[in-house]
Structure 1
Amino acid sequence: MLLCSRSSVYVFLKGGVFLKKPSSNPFSMLSSLSDGYRLLLITSAVTTILSIVFNYLMPQVIRFAIDTVLGDQPSALPAVLTSILMPDKQDTMRNLIACAIMAMVFSVLSGLFTYLCRYTMAKASEGMIERLRNRLFSHVQKLSYHWHVTHQTGDIIQRCTSDVEVVRGFLSAQLLEMFRTVFLIALSLLLMFSISVKLSWISTAFVPVVMLYSGVFYAKISKNFRKADEAEGDLSAAAQENFTGVRVVRAFGREAYEIDRFEKKNNLFSALWIKLGHWLSFYWGIGDLVSAIQVMVIVILGALEAYAGSITLGDFLLFSAYNSMLVWPVRSLGRILSEMSKTGVSISRLNEILNEPEEDDDPNALCPPLDGDIVFDHVSFDYHGVNPVLNDINLTIHAGETVGILGATGSGKSTLMYLLDRLYDLPNDCGTITIGGVDIRNIRRDYLRRHIGFVLQEPFLFSKTIRENISITSLQNELSAIRHSASVAAVDEAICEFAQGYDTVVGERGVTLSGGQKQRVAIARMLMQEAPIMIFDDSLSAVDAETDAKIRSALKQATNKRTTILISHRITTLMNADRIFVMEKGRVVQSGTHETLCKENGVYRQIYEIQGTLEEELANINKEVTP
């Protein structure tokens, strides 16, 4: 027996959650996002440097005013700048005013360049994040059906919102701050060494200490942030699932149970963030202590150096100013490292989505007519590598024929249709499925799916109007065509009874409609597609027998030349099909018309007799209760 499996996919999965894949530096993703924004990033870097330079020139003016204008020390500034700051050597007040004006000019220029660097960085970062969001959404749309059914929607949403927001915060603030901090540290040390080598070495000795404990906390923060981020995804999934299934929760009175389940997940999420906050508090507390010690040491030793005459009073004030400017960048570098740890986790989680392979087609994929015979030739298939769902299936559905497929839950009925629509790909050594003699693996996916209409047992309706939901599969949105499809689906009359008719908004997932109405709207939507192949996967299960018969009759007239596949547990839905296939444990055990199958001693006849008996009993009960 040939077993074909998709278990190789589970190398990357465990329990429906993402596993960490081996990858290169996660921040390489930022490089690809920066295409087209690099000029803005360079402009932001240049204006940052200019802002810092003018900001650092202000203490130089103060030193000049103290040592040269008020004192008798020679100027350490260039001759041009000295002549501007000291236009008259004999007029001290005039020179002080010139220094004040120059300090103000430097301050204004520093503020102007700060504005420009922030503006260009914001424009670049928002553009990069917009590109990331578009890339994520587009990529998720192109991932396989198997990927979607094995991952929680809430976790995907959390990654595409919260994790993207973390990356956005890094790009808009931390990335620029990192560049600014490195330049500030380098410039501060350069200027400090030009004033006092001894004090500079003492100040520099604190930098490795900060880097050391920052590196230790980087790993701790990263580990705890990943746990908190994953817990948030689990919490989002629970909330999304509960809000979506609110009618089921209310129907069974499970509000208390769901509240308790949510509170447990929320408590775990809060505990993880409290633990993360503990590490961050410890980290910043150590940082404040080290910074305070550094400033205290420099002030004491600098005062002693100035008292001893090793440096001037102006040099001491200038050195103290630059040391204070150094303290915050060094502390900020530690903050950036902690934020980078969070960003690294978020980028890794986003890369886990972006690294998933998209559905792809062969460059020479075909777009043939799909109005030919459908042939399943020795088809075998298995989802998880444990038990085969389909086992050596051989069946032919002729063009324009209406066939029915009957079988118990788990017999493989829906799997046949998922393979036909290429929601799952049939492995090369597991048989073939052809339409008009062309292997569907050689047909373009989007073309194939546009020409196969599919109605599921639990149809999904978008939070739009009924008119928009029905016309979503077609380029035409004329009300007459929409109403014609709705009439065939036996839902036009019900829609017209709504206050806003076809302009009625159905709510999220069609929550304002009954189960039968949702199924019929989905049928109308599929009919608008005018596909040559139509599949009804137990899509009449929520309608009564009378409506079922009415829809089947209208469908027979409307789809006379189309290949129609009816999957159902209800024999009355299938009995008028041209042929009926009966499936059991992944095999076709019977085939024929309703009449021929009723004459055989097999599964079909047993089901027919059971359903017939039940319908008779129900009819008798209705007679008894009818006054």
Structure 2
Amino acid sequence: MKNMKLIWNYMKGNRGKYLAAVLCIGIATLFSLIGPLIIRITIDSVIGSNGLKESTAVMTIIDSLGGIENLKRNLWIPAMALIIFTLLRGIFLFLKGRWSAEAAETVAKKMRDNLYDHLQHLPYKYHVRAEPGDLIQRCTSDVETVRRFLAAQFVEIGSALFMLIFSASIMFSLDVKMTLVSLSLIPFIFGFSIVFFRKVKKAFKLTDEAEGRMSTTLQENLTGLRVVRAFGRQGYEVDKFEEKNRENRELTYKLIRLFAWYWSISDLICMFQMGMVLMAGIYWTALGHISLGTMVVFITYIGMLLWPVRQLGRVITDMGKAMVSIERIQEIMNEEKEEMEATGNKPVIKGNICFRNVEFQYDKGKPVLKNITFEVKAGETIAILGATGAGKTTLVHLLARLFDYEKGSIKIDGQELRTIDKKWIRKNVGLILQEPFLFAKTIKENIGLGKDFPEDREVYDVAKVASIHEVINDFNQGYETLVGERGVSLSGGQKQRVAIARTLIANTPIIVFDDSLSAVDTETDASIRSALKKRKNNATTFIISHRISTLSEADKIIVLEQGEIVQMGKHDDLMKQTGLYRRIWDIQNSNEEDSGLSSGAKYAN
């Protein structure tokens, strides 16, 4: 009932169309039941000699047509009546299909829009752990499952109920004993459908989850195809996909077996019910308890009734699948959106930053940052060095409020970071990630994403600062070159530089390079940093890197170990200390000297 309530909520604004569709199916059902009654009167009283024992309304209609004698002379009149009621039934079935389909499409669109909007506003930490393949399936396959149920099966429940109520009422008015025989096995079909629904709902959930895992595996493989080829891991990836595919197949087989049992057993019950009606009808007709026309009505009605009742199993099955899908959709919708409260505090950001005793943890009892304290003046460059997992990325993510610190204080230009509007602070902090994401657009469009309606000159200027302008001009289509999905047509260094240009065009007062110079050579690295210093608005810059040559020119260098600041100062100061910074410097210099000696020996030979 909870899931049906969710569907009902999504139907808001379209409930009128659904109710109209249900009403149309009721009218269509009524017209379909009138046909056998016309045949009964024709057989018993028009062709046969049985006297009419119909209601006053029916007798009035027959009299208006000239009475029984006129109908005997003009048998085309009952035939024409059958055609007219069949046409009317078709018209109302068309209206039912149209209105239910229109409403279902509107509901599906609303669900997709809500899902997409909700995903855009979920916190950063949710997307870190979420599987893209599974999210895609929930937004596409699961929504489509709900749409199909609403378009085709939802109103069929009304069809089955109308058929049962109307036909049972008419049959009881004709003959009680025959009606009891005709409906004797209907409760067993209903009961069997309910048992089947309970089993199939669980099976559908398992199948849906298995399909989600398979989709995730496929999405990961296609995204990292170049890595797979580079490491010759095609065989491993094929085996991994085959395992997920096999799991999905086995669970699907289980569903197919359940369907086979349902349809075969329901067929047996329905055929047995038809046989009982036929035998009882022939027997009582022979004895004269019922007329031939009445027997025809019962056989026709039971044939018409058993189909929607039998289809009820399919309706219940699709409903079970829809319930599973709506649950999976609702799991996303139940995730709390990131609190983007508009505080109204939108100060002019200059770039003065002060960390005081800041602490942060992702999981309780496992601190990632401990007692972080330092100050940065506007326009300064701060370098951060540390081993993997030391908390470097977490520290700069706190600046953009992708996560909120738990203890201590972070002030920007004297104002507590928590009090500054989230959207405003993110507009003023340019974050360049180590693994840049480029959209399947042109290079010009990717760079221009950082600003609304950028001019061409602005795009070219930031590309020059990012040392990518000349490279782009060497491409056949220049800035109109399509980079492909995730920038697949560019090298790692080229992607990083395009991402840097995209951030620079936003002209933010605070810029963070999260190891985003790692894929460029030392000369290009130095060129980018030099161009940044020459810009008119010298931004406060954070650089995370493991390359000492990149860090050495910074105004302040912070060395992190296990979430704590263990060293801090300028390059010359840290070189005088024994610690991580000096050790890495010695290692990198040693490697460069070895490389130089090897190169010299090579040319000497």
- Report TM bin, short chain: over 0.9
For 2:191 and 2:104, the matched residues in 1 are separated by: 30
Q: Which residue of structure 2 aligns with residue 82 of structure 1?
A: 62
* CA distance in structure 1 between the aligned counterparts of 2:25 and 2:344, rounded to whole angstroms: 52
Comparing 230-239 and 598-607, the one that deviates more:
598-607
Distance 1:559-1:588 versus aligned 2 partners, 3 A rule? farther
Deviates more, 1:350-359 or 1:186-195: 186-195
Which residue in the other structure is 2:89 paired with?
110
Deviation at 1:68, TM superposition (A): 2.1
Cα distance between partner residues in 1 of 2:42 and 2:603: 106
1:471-513 CA deviation, whole Å, 9 max, x = no partner? 0121123221111111000001111111111111111111110
Cα drift, residue 325 of structure 1 = 1.3
Q: What one-letter code is carried by the residue in structure 2 that aligns with 1:40? A: K
1:518 maps to 495
Q: Which residue of 2 aligns with 1:143?
A: 122
SS of the aligned residue for 1:382 comes to strand
Is residue 461 from structure 1 mapped to residue 438 from structure 2 by the alignment?
A: yes
Deviation at 1:626, TM superposition (A): 4.6
What does the per-residue CA deviation read over 1:12-39, in whole Å, with 9 as the maximum and x for residues that have no partner? xxxxxxxxxxxx7122221222122122
Match of residue 285 from structure 1: 264
| Aligned-residue offset at 1:422 | 1.7
Secondary structure, counterpart of 1:601 in structure 2: coil
- Does the CA contact (< 8 Å) of 1:365 and 1:442 recur in 2? no
Q: Which amino acid aligns with 1:68?
A: S
Distance change >3 Å, CA 208–CA 432, structure 1 → 2: farther
User: Are 1:129 and 2:101 matched, yes or no?
Assistant: no
State the partner residue of 1:73.
51
8 A Cα contact 2:35 2:82, kept in partner: yes
SS at match of 1:580: strand
- State which drifts further: 229-238 or 308-317: 308-317
1:377-434 deviations in Å (ceiling 9; x for gaps): 211112223532111111222222211111111111101011221222323xx22322
Distance 1:94 1:540 in 2: 97
Q: SS of the residue aligned with 1:395?
A: strand
Q: 2:337 aligns with which of 345, 358, 380?
A: 358
Q: 2:99 aligns with which of 98, 120, 137?
A: 120
Within 1, Cα distance between the matches of 2:474 and 2:351?
41
Name the CA distance, whole Å, in 2 between partners of 1:332 and 1:602: 76
The one of 423, 429, 436 aligned to 1:452? 429
Alignment of 1:324-363 (within 5 A): 324-362=303-341
Query: Compared with structure 1, are the counterparts of its residues 81 and 366 closer, same or farther at alpha carbon in structure 2 (3 Å cutoff)?
Result: farther
- Cα deviation for residue 241 of structure 1 reads 0.4
How far did residue 248 of structure 1 move?
A: 0.6
Q: Distance in 2 between matches of 1:526 and 1:436?
A: 22
Match of 1:506 in 2: 483
User: Is 1:550 the counterpart of 2:530 in the alignment?
Assistant: no
Whether 2:91 is the aligned partner of 1:98: answer no
Name the SS for the 1:36 alignment partner. coil
Contact in 2 for aligned 1:64/1:75 (Cα 8 Å): no
Q: Give me the whole-angstrom Cα distance separating, in 2, the residues matched to 1:503 and 1:461.
A: 14
Q: Which moved further from structure 2: 384-393 or 497-506? A: 384-393
What is the one-letter code of the residue matched to 1:42? L
CA distance in 1, matches of 2:177, 2:603: 105
SS of residue paired to 1:173? helix
Stretches of structure 1 that go unaligned for 5 or more consecutive residues are 1-23
Distance 2:374 2:182 in 1: 82
Moved more, 92-101 or 529-538: 92-101
CA distance 1:595–1:50, change in 2 (3 Å): same
TM-score (norm 2): 0.96
Who is 1:532 aligned against? 509
Contact residue 75 and residue 82 of structure 1 kept, 8 A: no
Aligned twin of 2:369 = 390
Contact 2:430-2:508 at 8 Å conserved across structures: yes
Per the alignment, in what secondary structure is the counterpart of residue 363 of structure 2? coil
The equivalent of 1:594 in structure 2 is 571
- What do the CA deviations read for 1:325-373 (whole angstroms, capped 9, x no partner)? 1111211112211211111111111111111111123353522222242
Which segment is superposed worse, 602-611 or 143-152? 602-611
Q: RMSD of the alignment, in Å?
A: 1.6
Kept in 2, the 8 Å contact 1:89–1:95? The answer is no
Query: 2:19 maps to what in 1?
Result: 42
Residue 264 (1) aligns with residue 255 (2): no
**Letter of the structure 2 residue corresponding to residue 74 of structure 1:** L
Contact 2:134 2:215 (C-alpha < 8 Å) held by counterparts: yes
Q: Does 1:368 align with 2:350?
A: no
Percent of residue pairs bearing the same amino acid type: 43
Query: TM-score, length-normalised on structure 1?
Result: 0.93
Q: CA separation in 2, counterparts of 1:370 and 1:516?
A: 30
Residue aligned with 1:253, SS = coil
1:176 and 2:155 equivalent?
yes
Corresponding residue of 1:19: none
Change (3 A) 1:621 1:83: farther
Amino acid at match of 1:284: W
Q: How far, CA to CA, are the matches of 1:105 and 1:120 in structure 2?
A: 23
Whole-Å Cα distance in 2 between the matches of residues 391 and 30 of structure 1?
47
Confirm or deny: 8 A CA contact 1:456 1:538 kept in the other structure: yes
1:473 aligns with 2:473: no
* SS in structure 2 of the partner of residue 415 of structure 1: helix
Find the residue that maps to 1:56 and give its secondary structure: helix
4+ aligned runs moved over 4 Å, structure 1: none
Which one of 422, 428, 432 corresponds to residue 409 of structure 2? 432
Which of 214, 217, 221 aligns to 1:242? It is: 221
Which letter does structure 2 place at the counterpart of 1:58? G
State the partner residue of 2:398. 419
Query: 1:623 Cα shift?
Result: 3.3
**Alpha-carbon distance between aligned partners in 1 of 2:141 and 2:312, rounded to the nearest angstrom:** 24
- Structure-1 separation of matches of 2:283 and 2:415: 91
Correspondence for 1:611 among 585, 588, 591: 588
Aligned equivalent of 1:187: 166
